[in-house]
Structure formats: structure tokens, C-alpha cells
Structure 1
Amino acid sequence: MSNFTAGAPGSIATFGRAVRQFLAVFLLILTTALIATPQAAKAQDYRFKSVNIDGNVRVDSATIINYLGIQSGQSLSGGELNAAYQNLIGSGLFESAEITPRGNVLDVRVVEYPTVNRIAIEGNKRLKDDALFTVVRSQPRLVYNPTLAEQDAAALVEAYEVGGRLAATVTPKIIRRSDNRVDLVFEVTEGKVVDVERLRFVGNRAFSDRRLRSVLETKQAGLFRTFVKSDTFVADRIEFDKQSLTDFYTARGFVDFQTVSVASELARERDGVFLTFRIQEGQQFSFGRFAVTSEIPNLNPAPYQRLIKIRSGRSFNPAYIDAAITRMENKALKDGLDFVRVEPRVIRNARERTIDVNFVLVRGPRVFVERIDIEGNTTTLDRVVRQQFRSVEGDPFNPREISHSADRIRALGYFEDVQVETREGSSPDRVIVDVDVEETTTGALTLGLAYSTNDGPGINLGYTQTNLLGRGQTLSFNINTVAEEQSYVFGFTEPFLFGRDLKFDADIGHRTTTNSTQQYKTVRDTFSPSIEFPLSERGRLGLRYRILNTKLSETSPDSSRLVTKDEGERLDNSFGYFYSFDSRRSKIDEDISYVVRFTQNFGFNDTDPFMRATGFMGAQASIFDDLVQVRAIVEGGAVKVYNDGETKITDRFAQNTRIMRGFENFGVGPRDLNAPNQDSLGGNFFAVLRLEADFPIGLPEEYGISGGLFLDTGSYWGLDDTAGGPTGAACPVADCTVDDDFYLRSVIGFALYWDTPLGPLRFNFTKALKKKDYDVEEPFELTISTKF
């Protein structure tokens, strides 16, 4: 008790001092907070009575205030003032801006973006200015926009990438000029073309890499990488190639095929790409059983069963189903049955790997075509596009026919892109067909050099316009000159005369031939109008009138009497018809393509009436999984002069290497062996059979070189006058009769096809198996490759 009483005064004093110190610190902190807080709030609040704007020349002050979003007397925080600054910069009108509060006045100073004086592209060599400026959106006399300039640079880089130059760079720069103007310059570094160095596949078992590469549009870089553009890497082409692979496999029964991925690896030098397609083939299926059933009362399916035309056991191909459906629906339309649709119902047998198909005839919805709208055709007239539709406004709507119409529009070649879509019309039973097209160039000027072992070197100059004035008409003019022949041909075609499927042609031609072998000259002037119309989906019939003026001159004294007696000029008038049947005019039955053409003309000349007829039949098929193409062609002709008249040498058929290979031009047929020139006289008749097979020969596909074998057999024969011998001299032998009998000739040969950047060349190496002693062989020939 005493200890406690003695220590109390010191303890109380110590406690009192601590309390006083605490209170002093607390009051100091509280005072500081009370003083500082009002000052901070005051620094962030602004109120202006006026806004002073400086530096603007083109932009009105009221527009700047509008971008600021500041009202007179409005109270603004520091954050709102910063937002006003961002709005001003974000307008894209000013290169820089400065906002300074000064009492009740807000000073705004701006520097406007300059005006573009001119735009230039520098450093470009591979792509011309005209092509590049189409993707540039910046324009002279408008305000310079750096964001837009960067977008233009990116678009220019993309244009180079499409051409395979992945290393191309484009840098936009400005050059300051007076009066706040700039020149906008895009500096281009093109870089090298990136070629596809290697194109390989992973996961393919049924087909080799070589076979799959032939399917793709993209090719490996080969011998002519400098000229061939298909071996240039284009990223956008990959999607097309993937679809091509899918179509290839699906058409061969691999219904589960898919492209898993496509990997591209850039070479170290950045001038090449290694492409790898990783694929999954799946199992191959074939066709099983077929049936046709009807869900339409009183519609007998039996007649439609015969239209399937697909053999069980062959590899599954959706195109065959499509063709069968087309045939069935066409039959229904011919029978007057509208709105009949064929639904293929597929049953997949995984164990047997077959696919059964049941074609079900059903009643489709009663939908009609309300109208056809065409857009994008700035040059081509609407009627040119509408002529490709078999359906018109008010007809029953057939989706398959609309799809075929779209294919026909694309086949015209007038448009870069064609999109045909349908949408609901004014009511659920009405459909509007929208056709959106993008025009492309339809005129072509050609200038080329040619060489043939028969005709020698030559020049070809031509101009063709396939869509004259947007009317779908064709206008052409061609000049061809070789060592011994010059021709000039002018042609005009109207494919839809009077708005109907009636084709009108008019040709005017002049041809001069100097035959050094035969030693005479011929001049032919021709005028030939014709009309042509369809008899069926694949067959067409035409009527033709022709005026032909022929002049034979400059015969040699050593020529046969049968040549010199025809010297002079003659005018022929003839009227005839021509018929053609071409299975390629329809997508149905594509396994074998076959063509039949027949022409017959009746006319009169200065002396006697005559008849001239020619025929052509050809068939082509692909075998061994489309690796080998086989063709068989039969061609023949006959000419006859009535009233005991005689054919002249210019009337008769003369052999040439386009019809029968292995012999020189005029190398086969009746020949006057008793004349010094031993002239070839041609024949009133000819018949030739050509059998061909084209196939790969093992070289890399990108070289474009393949081979072929062929066999030609036939003959030229028949003369009205066989009394030959030299001109103006007695016959050196007792009998100068020319042998004009039928003698069969046969030639076997090997062909080498070379698809060069200058055109498809063909090298023929031949050996005559059967010939006459006087026939003139040609064991080698270089010419342009053609197909029927």
C-alpha cells in the first residue's frame, strides 16, 4: 500500500505527456487533411466562359468545339478535359492538338493534317502502277490519313502475296510541300517470287503423290519456273486445291475423305515453300442395288428405272446419281408432270462397302419463279444473262435447272464471278432468283509466232471480242501467215438471233496458197452466212449459203496435164446443211465423250452442179483412273460433179497431216507418175481412221510432258479423168493413165506432248506400215497439239 502511494505521481505525469503528444499528432494530421482536401478538389474542376481556337485553316471552329463537347460555363473535371482532347485527336482531322486552361478561357491549338498533293508508288517492277492503284484508297486533294495509308500499304503487300511474293514490303512515306501539302509515296520492296519447291502428301495409300499432284491447280516448280505461274505459292489457292482433292476422291468412292491439314514451310532463303497435304482417305465404296419408287399416286416408276444407267459394282460417284436424277426429272417435264422431284435415299453397307440408292419420285412444293433479278452487269445486257435460263417468270421452280443455268452463265466467259441464289418472293409459293455477276475483260488481242515442219515459220495476229457492246455477240479478225500460205478471216456471230436459240454466223475469208511442191498457186475468196438451231439437248442443225471464188495460177510447164487444164478462175455458189451431235454439251453420261459432225453442200459453178459431203465421228474415254486418254476418230468425204462434169484439183480432197499423219502434205493419193513433177492430184473420196492413246511417261508432272501412241489408216482415191502425162507433150509411155484406185495406207507413231508457256506442242515420230512406193513419208513432225 505504501509502495503504490509513493509511485503514483510519476506514473500519472508520464501518462499525461503521452496523451498530449497523441492529441498533438492527431490534430496535425486532421488539420493537414482539412487544408489539403479542398485544394485538390479545386485543382480538378474547371469552368470556362470562352474557348479560344488557333491553328485551324480548313476545319471550322464550331466543328472543333463540337468535337470537344464543351459547353460555355460547364464544369469539367480533369478526366473530362482529357476525354475532350482524345475526341479531337480521334476525329482524324488533326496531326496534333494542345489544350491549355487559362483562367476562364480554354486555349485550343491544333495542327491540321496536310492535304495529299499526289500519290506515287516507287520500286515496283513486276506489278504496274495501274494494277496497284486499284487497291489504294487514299486520294489526291483529300486530307492525309495515316491510318488509311497504313491500310493501303497492307493492301499492296497482299497484292504481291497473291502473285507469290511473300517477302514484299510496302512503306508509306510523306514528303512535305508548301501550303500544308504532302506527297504520299509508297516505297515497294518486291522481293523474290516464292515457288512451291515441293508438294507432298501424307496419308495417301490408294493414289501416289504424282497422281494427286496432277489434280491440284498448284504445281511444283519445274523446268519453266520463270514462266509458269501455277508453281507460285498463293495462299488463297490452297482452299481450291483442298476442294479439288475432295472432288477427286469422292468421285472414286472415297465418301469419307477429308483433308486434315495443309502445312507450309518457308525455305531458309524465303524463295520457296514446302507444302504438305495431310489427308485421310477412308474406305472406298461401290454402287450396290438400285430401285425407283413413287410416292405420287398413279405415277408408274417403271419407265424411270431404265434411266438410271449406273452399273452395280462400279466405284461410287455422286455425279452418276446427279445425272440419273436429271434424266428422270427431264422425263417428268416432257410428260407434262410439273413439280416432280427425285430424292435419292442412300443406304450405306459398311460391311460390304457398298451403297444402295433408292430414287424416290415425290411431289415437290408448288413454287413458281416470281422474277429473275440481275445485278453487277455494267456492260452486259440483261437479256444476255436471261437467255441462259430455261425457266422464266411464272414457270415452276426447279432448283436443279437454276443450278444448270448458273453453270451456263459461267461458261459464257463474260464474268469474273457469278453467284446465283434464291430467296422467298412476295408469298411462300414464289421465289426470286438473284444473279450477281462481276464483269471481266472479253476482248483479246493475240500476236504469236508459229512453226510447223510442214508449213514452216509463221505469224499469227488476231483480235477477238466475245461480248461485243455487251450483246453477247462475237467479232473476230485473224491474220495467219506461214511460208506457203496466207489467210485473212473476218467473223461475226450472234448466238441468239431474234431473242431465240438461233445462232447466226457470217464469215469472210481470203486465202492464198503457194504450193512449192505442186508448183502452182491458189487464191480462195469466201463469203459464208449460216444459221444454226438445236434439234435436241446435244444435237444442232444448221443451214449455210456459200460463195467461193477460186483461182488457180502459176502452174509449171512440168506439171501434169490434169493440173494445168484446171488453171483459171471459177465462181461457186452452194447451199447446204450441217449437223452436229456433241455429248459434251450435257453433263450426263460423262464416261465417254463422242462427237458426230456431217456436212453436205449442193451447188453450181460456171459449168456444172455438184455435191460435196464430209463426215466426222469421234469418241474419247479415260481409263486406268483417268491416267490414259483413248480416242477413236473416223473421218471421210466425197465430192461429185453432175452432168458428166469433172472435179478440178481445187475441188478434190488433198491429204494433210491434220487428217493423216506420217506423210507429207499431198503425200498420199492418186499421183501422175508420168509428169515431170509427179503431181499429187487429190481424190474425190477419202476415209481415215485414227486411233490414239495419251499417257504419262514418268517425268515430273510439273514439266508438262506426256506421251502417246497412235495408228492412222486410210486412203484418198477416185478421179473423173485419169488421162495424165506432161503438159503440152506426148506421153512418154504407151499408157499415161493415172492409178486412182483405193489403196490402204497405215502409219504407227509415237507422240510427245509438251505443254509449254508458248502453247501445247506435239512431236510426232512415225513409221509407215503400209504405203505405195510413190508416197512421200514424213517420219517427224512438229505441230500444235489439238483435240477433237
Structure 2
Amino acid sequence: MAGSRFLNTVSGAALSLAVAVSGGVVTAIALPQSAEAATVSNIVVNGAGATGADAIKSKLSIVPGRSFTDADINQSIRTLYGSGYFSDVKISVQGSTLIVNVTENQLINQVVFNGNRKVNDKKLQGVVQLHSLGPYSQAQAELDAQRIKDAYSQIGRSDVEVTIDTATVQDNRINVAFVIDEGGRTKTKHINFVGNNTYGASRLAAVIDTKRSTPLSFLTRKDIYNPDQVRHDGDLLREFYNNHGFPDFRLLSTDVQYDDVDNSYSITFTMDEGARYRFSDIGVDTTITGMNVDNLKGDIDTKSGKYYDADNIQKTSEAIAASASSQGYPFAQVNPRLDRDFSTDTVAVNYQVDQGVKAYIERIEIVGNTRTRDYVIRREFDLAEGDAYNRELIARTKRRLEALGYFSSVDIRTQPGSAPDRVVLVVDVTDEPTGSFSIGAGYDAEGDSLVLELSVEERNFLGRGQYVRASAGLGDDDSQIYNFSFTEPFFLGYRLAAGFDLYRATSSTQTYYSYAETAGTLRVTAPLTDDLASTFKYNYQQFEYTGEGNWEDPNNLSPIYQNLVNGSPWTVSSLEQTFSYSTVDDRKMPREGTLAQLSNTIAGLGGDSHYYKIAGKARWYQMLSDQADIVGSLTVRGGYVAPFDDNLNVFDQFTIGGQEIRGFKQNGIGPRTVEQGDALGGQTYAVVSAEANFPVPFIPEDIALRGAAYVDAGSLWGNQVDVDNTAIEGTDFSLRASAGVGLIWNSPFGDLRFDYAIPFVKEDFDETQRFRFGIANTF
């Protein structure tokens, strides 16, 4: 019974007095002498109304013919108040009759919301507790009004006002209206950092989730002030510093100032970075008899001379714990022991492996997930009910769940089980939106044209953890591109990501022929380590070339491309295996780490192509300036294709251009016919690129606009296409190089990039293109 309390019973000579206090009204009830249990033969209910006398009697702990005491009276009053249907309850005894007098709360006819435009009725109905046919309570209505305010605060409207209007209708029913004045959008006007000597404000602004308000903030909504988010931002700063050499980092204060003039907040993070440490001696030891320590040393990823990294220590601890478990020590607990040398700013780490508490997992409970299925969460565990409790393996599960991108928060805690050696794991998650609709830009390499793209993506389809993406693009000269992808991350219950891709592209940008490609891929990816994965693919492609123009003029098209049109359609059936390696800190905007791929392809399972192809690429990222947030990268690419028979088709060879060496057209480099200038592609290519990117000065972080300066160099050479006595050029190695600048925009419509490059080493027959606009990517 909200807002009520019960006082002790006072006994007299003939009567005891029970006193109930509810809503400021004191009700005295005369009861029989409590020294002896009493009985009644009849119960009379007054004021029952819509509730019904029988329903009220069913909630009493007093039954005619059975003895009762003061405690039963008080319990009955509490139960009736607790139902929420009564504003007043009185119980008295007259002779052998128990008299229950109640005053009913009004029942709600309907609950409506007025004035809400930014939050729809459906969401607000899920927020409030009052509902149709339920009892009306003023206290509950005020709580619901506060819940509505909280919902508006989540979208940056903290100054929302909510009033409650009621209107009585027939049969003691009431309409409830929440009248909402949504107010203006609360913005984050300033974000300041104090005490940051190593990292500049722009670098730290990229670490936290809250962003300054900009003209585009209405799309991202990252400028919304949310106290919980600001507290999380403090954790992100602490984690960032701990992973970059600062184990003593302290967030001294987070000061928030509200400006009621323009309805905005200013946030100031004041910190003490502490000294920056590097790792020195690294070792592993154990107190467990019989454990092979030498086998555990291979799991150490911590490197002497590198900056202190708390995440690296945690991952190494997890790997050692997993190895110890495989040796037959499932309860092993890894405790990193740190020994600091303040004179050299170094820290030695010794991974101490001890026998942990022998406890077993009795049950794993999943709570908080309103959309994601339980099994999607459970399959990330390396442990199950009945297994030995292992702290490090549970920490690994938490990291995996966070990495899925399905949840805004993940917490795993333990509770005592049914026995001293049993524990219950409670996994508390909060689902976040995983679907997106975007307008982006792409590039049709075959047609050398810009393609505007609409795409729909869902990373947690139907809460099953499946990935689905569909896109459609339209480019110059009626070029069209369609894609559909589906991935099941746990195929057949194993940690295998299996899926398929469908692709269709058409282009009419060529002068003398139209081009179309239809392709399908089946793939499966197996993780080999946390950083390394292997993918197997089966690819099927069909190429169609349709002739246009005056075919009687031999200058229209080379015999090579005439053969493509005459032999159309062409098919390629191939098997491909790819190793993928990644240690980057952020896939969308890497600042440190390595990305690498190596692919081997064999074509010849039917179709018109028979070859072996190897291709690889690697990119290294390194911070050039922590203070200015300047990121350097070095990229190498290369490939070679060899036919199983005498010749390759034109579409079997490599084609490179503006995507690899900026400043050139796609297919603008490499072997081509002398008379017509038709590109043939090449048998071998190699490219090296060096780039530095940096935040554009005076542009807010939420705009996500960065500049770039780069140099590209490489070549495409060799030819195995049957040229049928046609004169060709560019088959020998010849260096091309360019330099340029670019803008990279992580826009709400997709990751876009604008480049302007000037080739300064080229051949006369090369085709150049100084300005280029397309999708930005990290590889």
C-alpha cells in the first residue's frame, strides 16, 4: 500500500485498537480483545461497487468460523490497499459480523497523450503504468508523468513539462490525459578537457560518445545530454588512458553546467593523466603443482618495450586461463602482478596462476534482453551449466558480447547458488537498435562511374544475431548495381560464420558495348585466433557483353573485345580461400594496428576461366601525433594470376586505377591495345601508398570530417590474353606515382571520401582522373 503505514496494536480491557494511516487519514478500528483469538460467522462488505463483494472477501485473511487475530486484520487491510483499487479501507467487528467498509478508486476509462510529437503514443504507453480498466491513483499518475519526462530526456528534451488532466465519465470511470509541452531540444554546447597533456581535445572527443552540437546533430543525436551517458564517457576516458600507457589515470571531476538561455549543457572533464609506462620484464608463474608453465608462455601477448595496455593484460590473462583449463585445471585463476619502476617509468608483469575457488556454475540467467534471443547470448560462453567457474573465461564472454554491437550495456555478475560450491551467473544486457537505412555513394569500377546507393542493413535480424543487407544503386548512363547479403554467425551451432551474397550490375558507359555481371557467392568463415580468420568461398560469375555501334568500322572496337561480345555470356566458377588478420583499435576509424588479407583463388570448376590467382594487401596504422590526432598509414598491395592453359580472358586479369593509385581512371593503368586504347588488365600488380589523416581544424568532432595527404606508387604489367596479332602496349613494368589530398567524411549517409590527386609519374597512354568521389574504406 503506497503511502501507508500501520502502528502497533494497543490493547485495553475489552477491546484492542488497530490504527491505520493512509494518505494522511487516520482510521481507528475497534477489534475484539487480542488476548484471545476471535471468530465471526459472517462478513459484510460495504462500498464494493465494480470490484464486487466476493472479490474483496477473497483478499481477506479472515474466514467465517475460523479464529483470527489483530495480525489478520492488519494483513487484510494491507492486501486491500495494495491492490490499488481502494482509496480508503475500514474493518470493524460488530458481534459475530466482520464489517468491511471500502471506498473505491475510480477506474480508468482510457489513457491519452496530448502534445507529443517527438515521442509517439506507442512508446509512451510502454513507459506509463496507468492503463485502461485499471484503478486510478494520483500518486501513480505523478510517477508516470516523471517517467514521461525521463523518456524525453533520452532524446535531449530535458525541459519537457507534463501535466495531468482527468475527466470523470459515467459509472465512476475516469479519463486520464497527460498533456505534454515538449519544449526545445537540449544540446551539448561545449565539451572541455582539463589536465590532458598527452592527448589533444580532438583525440579525446573522438573517444567519448557524447558530441558537441552541430547543424547535423539532429541526424546523429549524439549531442543529447544524458547523465548516464556522461558517466559512461568517464569510463571510456579511463579505459582509453589505461590502454595507452597510463595505469594511474584519474578522472578528478565531471562538471556539468546548464545554460537556461539557450537550453544547452557544457561538460568539463578534469583529469590527472599520471606517468606513462612501458612494459619491461614479462613472465608467468604458478603455485599449482604439476602445471606446465612453459606451455603457458606461448599465450603471453604482452611485449617488453610496448606501452602499458590494460586490455592486453586482460586478453593475455584470458588466454592463459583457457590454456590452464585445457591442461586439466579448470579452476585456475590468473592474477597479473605489476611491479613498477618509478625511476624508469616501466612496469614488469608476472602472470601468477593460482588455484581458484572450486565452484561450479549452477545456472546462467539472461535478463534485460527485450529483442535478442537468449541462445544468441548463451552461445558466446565457453562455459555452460555444470562447468567449473572461471573468472577469466567469463571476462572473455563479456568482451565478446560487447563486441557484437547488439547491446548498449553488458554486465555479468554472480549470485550464490543452492550450495556453497554453486554460483548463478546473471547476464544483464540492454538491447540497442541494430538496423539502419542509409543513402550512400559507390563506384562502378567497370563502368568508371559514380553510383548513388540506397541500403537497408540489420545486424541482429529478428533478434537471432543474423546479418542481412540489401542495397540498390543507380549510376551514370543508367548503370545499376544490386546487392543482397545474408550471414549466420553460428552455422550448425559452431563458431562458423556462413552466408551468401548475390550481385547484379549493368553498365552502358562504354562506347561500343554494354556490360552486365551476375554473381553469387557461398562462404564460411572460421576464426583461428582472436585476430586471425580463414574464409572459404565458392564464387559463380556470369559476364555479358552486348555490342552497340557500327561493327563494320574496325576502329570501333578491338578484335579482343569483339570476341567478348561474340562469345557472350562468359562464366567463371572458382574456389577461394582468404586469411584475414586484424589488430586495429577501431574498424571504422583505425588509429593503431594492422589489417591484412591474403587470398588464393582457383578457377576451373566448369566455366570459361582456368587459372590460379594470389592477391594480398596489408595496411599498418600508427599515431604520428597524439596531441594533434594525426594518424599515419602504410599500405601495400599485390597480386599475380597464372593460367592453367595458354591464355587468360580479359576479365580474369587484374585491373587497377583510381582506387589503388589515385589520380588515374579505373582501368587507366596497364596493358591496352595501341589503336583503340582498350584496357586489357594485367597479370601482375604491386602498389605502395603512404597517407596521413588528421582532423580538419575548426570543424566540430560530430561532423566527423578529416583531411588526408598521401603518395601512391605502383604498376600493373604482364599480359596472358590472346591478342590475335593486335598491337598492345604497357606490358612491361613501368612505375606510376601520384600525390594528393583528400577529405574523409563519416557522414550520416555513409562513409564518403573526396580526393584530388596529381600523377607525377605516368605513361603517355595512361588515362588520368584527378578528382574522385566514392566510398571511404579502411582497406
Name the counterpart of 1:630: 632
| Residue 182 of structure 1 pairs with residue 174 of structure 2 | yes
Name the CA shift for 1:599/1:172 in 2 (closer, same or farther; >3 Å): farther
Paired residues for 1:391-470 under 5 Å: 391-393=383-385, 395-415=387-407, 417-425=409-417, 427-438=419-430, 444=435, 446=437, 448=439, 450=441, 458-468=451-461
Name the CA shift for 1:563/1:111 in 2 (closer, same or farther; >3 Å): same
| Residue 272 of structure 1 pairs with residue 274 of structure 2 | no
Q: Which residue of 110, 115, 132 corresponds with 1:118? A: 110
Name the CA shift for 1:641/1:51 in 2 (closer, same or farther; >3 Å): closer
| Residue 693 of structure 1 pairs with residue 686 of structure 2 | no
Name the counterpart of 2:681: 682
Q: Which amino acid aligns with 2:394?
A: I
Deviation at 1:746, TM superposition (A): 0.9
Name the CA shift for 1:307/1:58 in 2 (closer, same or farther; >3 Å): closer
| Residue 491 of structure 1 pairs with residue 489 of structure 2 | no
Q: Distance in 2 between matches of 1:232 and 1:785?
A: 27
Paired residues for 1:723-734 under 5 Å: 723=723
Do the aligned residues in 2 keep the contact of 1:544 with 1:577 (CA within 8 Å)?
yes
Q: Distance in 2 between matches of 1:767 and 1:616?
A: 24
| Residue 168 of structure 1 pairs with residue 160 of structure 2 | yes
Name the counterpart of 1:618: 619
Name the CA shift for 1:310/1:624 in 2 (closer, same or farther; >3 Å): farther
| Residue 705 of structure 1 pairs with residue 705 of structure 2 | yes
Name the counterpart of 2:603: 602
| Residue 477 of structure 1 pairs with residue 470 of structure 2 | yes
Segment drifting more, 129-138 vs 344-353: 344-353
Q: Distance in 2 between matches of 1:585 and 1:751?
A: 22
* 1:287-312 deviation line (CA, Å, top 9, x unaligned): 45444444344656567567656555
Deviation at 1:653, TM superposition (A): 2.4
| Residue 147 of structure 1 pairs with residue 142 of structure 2 | no
Name the counterpart of 1:565: 563
Q: Distance in 1 between matches of 2:82 and 2:756?
A: 75
Q: Which residue of 219, 240, 248 corresponds with 1:248? A: 240
Deviation at 1:67, TM superposition (A): 11
Name the counterpart of 2:753: 762
Do the aligned residues in 2 keep the contact of 1:378 with 1:439 (CA within 8 Å)?
yes
Do the aligned residues in 2 keep the contact of 1:465 with 1:474 (CA within 8 Å)?
yes
Deviation at 1:133, TM superposition (A): 1.8
Name the counterpart of 1:533: 526
| TM-score (ref. length: structure 1) | 0.79
Paired residues for 1:211-226 under 5 Å: 211-226=203-218
Q: How large is the Cα RMSD of the aligned pairs?
A: 4.4
Name the counterpart of 1:29: none
Name the CA shift for 1:112/1:250 in 2 (closer, same or farther; >3 Å): same
Segment drifting more, 258-267 vs 369-378: 369-378
Q: Which residue of 729, 739, 742 corresponds with 1:748? A: 739
Do the aligned residues in 2 keep the contact of 1:563 with 1:681 (CA within 8 Å)?
no
Q: Which amino acid aligns with 1:752?
A: L
Q: Which amino acid aligns with 2:107?
A: T
Name the counterpart of 2:649: 648
Which secondary structure does the structure 1 equivalent of 2:232 belong to?
helix
Name the CA shift for 1:582/1:608 in 2 (closer, same or farther; >3 Å): closer
Deviation at 1:158, TM superposition (A): 1.0
| Residue 510 of structure 1 pairs with residue 504 of structure 2 | yes
Name the CA shift for 1:583/1:451 in 2 (closer, same or farther; >3 Å): closer
* 1:18-52 deviation line (CA, Å, top 9, x unaligned): xxxxxxxxxxxxxxxxxxxxxxxxxx99999x999
* 1:70-125 deviation line (CA, Å, top 9, x unaligned): 9xxxxxxxxxxxxx9999999864679999xxxxxx99998744332221111112
Deviation at 1:240, TM superposition (A): 0.5
Deviation at 1:171, TM superposition (A): 0.5
Name the counterpart of 1:27: none
Q: Distance in 2 between matches of 1:561 and 1:536?
A: 50
Q: Distance in 2 between matches of 1:462 and 1:540?
A: 27
Do the aligned residues in 1 keep the contact of 2:366 with 2:426 (CA within 8 Å)?
yes
Deviation at 1:163, TM superposition (A): 1.6
Do the aligned residues in 1 keep the contact of 2:715 with 2:736 (CA within 8 Å)?
yes
Do the aligned residues in 2 keep the contact of 1:449 with 1:457 (CA within 8 Å)?
no
Deviation at 1:313, TM superposition (A): 5.7
Do the aligned residues in 1 keep the contact of 2:649 with 2:721 (CA within 8 Å)?
no
* 1:464-500 deviation line (CA, Å, top 9, x unaligned): 4544555544444332222253223333333333322
Which secondary structure does the structure 2 equivalent of 1:742 belong to?
coil
Which secondary structure does the structure 2 equivalent of 1:133 belong to?
helix
Q: Distance in 1 between matches of 2:775 and 2:133?
A: 53
Do the aligned residues in 2 keep the contact of 1:571 with 1:605 (CA within 8 Å)?
no
Q: Distance in 1 between matches of 2:261 and 2:77?
A: 48
Which secondary structure does the structure 2 equivalent of 1:237 belong to?
helix
Q: Distance in 2 between matches of 1:394 and 1:475?
A: 35
Which secondary structure does the structure 2 equivalent of 1:619 belong to?
strand
Paired residues for 1:226-305 under 5 Å: 226-297=218-289, 301=293
Name the CA shift for 1:354/1:483 in 2 (closer, same or farther; >3 Å): same
Do the aligned residues in 2 keep the contact of 1:153 with 1:171 (CA within 8 Å)?
yes
Name the counterpart of 1:783: 774
Do the aligned residues in 1 keep the contact of 2:538 with 2:574 (CA within 8 Å)?
yes
Name the CA shift for 1:223/1:65 in 2 (closer, same or farther; >3 Å): closer
Do the aligned residues in 1 keep the contact of 2:444 with 2:451 (CA within 8 Å)?
no
Q: Which amino acid aligns with 1:258?
A: R
Q: Which has the higher contact order (CA 8 A, sep 6+)?
A: 2
Name the counterpart of 1:76: none
Deviation at 1:717, TM superposition (A): 2.3
In structure 1, runs of 5+ residues without a counterpart are 1-43, 71-83, 100-105, 726-734
Deviation at 1:239, TM superposition (A): 0.7
Which secondary structure does the structure 2 equivalent of 1:212 belong to?
helix
Segment drifting more, 361-370 vs 107-116: 107-116
| Residue 549 of structure 1 pairs with residue 548 of structure 2 | no
Segment drifting more, 264-273 vs 622-631: 622-631
Name the CA shift for 1:656/1:113 in 2 (closer, same or farther; >3 Å): farther
Which secondary structure does the structure 2 equivalent of 1:321 belong to?
helix
Deviation at 1:721, TM superposition (A): 4.7
| Residue 669 of structure 1 pairs with residue 661 of structure 2 | no
Name the counterpart of 1:717: 717
Q: Distance in 2 between matches of 1:68 and 1:474?
A: 55
Name the CA shift for 1:688/1:128 in 2 (closer, same or farther; >3 Å): same
Deviation at 1:694, TM superposition (A): 1.8
Do the aligned residues in 1 keep the contact of 2:441 with 2:752 (CA within 8 Å)?
no
Which secondary structure does the structure 1 equivalent of 2:139 belong to?
helix
In structure 2, runs of 5+ residues without a counterpart are 1-27, 33-41, 63-75, 92-97, 551-555
Name the CA shift for 1:132/1:488 in 2 (closer, same or farther; >3 Å): same
Q: Distance in 1 between matches of 2:144 and 2:77?
A: 27
Do the aligned residues in 1 keep the contact of 2:115 with 2:181 (CA within 8 Å)?
yes
Which secondary structure does the structure 2 equivalent of 1:668 belong to?
coil
Percent same amino acid at aligned positions? 28
Q: Which residue of 184, 195, 199 corresponds with 2:191? A: 199
Residue correspondences, number: 720
Q: Distance in 2 between matches of 1:536 and 1:241?
A: 30
Name the CA shift for 1:586/1:278 in 2 (closer, same or farther; >3 Å): closer
Which secondary structure does the structure 2 equivalent of 1:660 belong to?
coil
Q: Which amino acid aligns with 2:630?
A: V
Q: Which amino acid aligns with 1:548?
A: Q
Name the counterpart of 1:321: 313
Structure of larger gyration radius: 1
Deviation at 1:188, TM superposition (A): 0.5
Which secondary structure does the structure 1 equivalent of 2:140 belong to?
helix
Q: Distance in 2 between matches of 1:130 and 1:744?
A: 63
Segment drifting more, 139-148 vs 536-545: 536-545
* 1:148-184 deviation line (CA, Å, top 9, x unaligned): 1111111001111122212110111012323333221
Deviation at 1:369, TM superposition (A): 4.5
Do the aligned residues in 2 keep the contact of 1:98 with 1:108 (CA within 8 Å)?
yes
Name the CA shift for 1:739/1:88 in 2 (closer, same or farther; >3 Å): closer
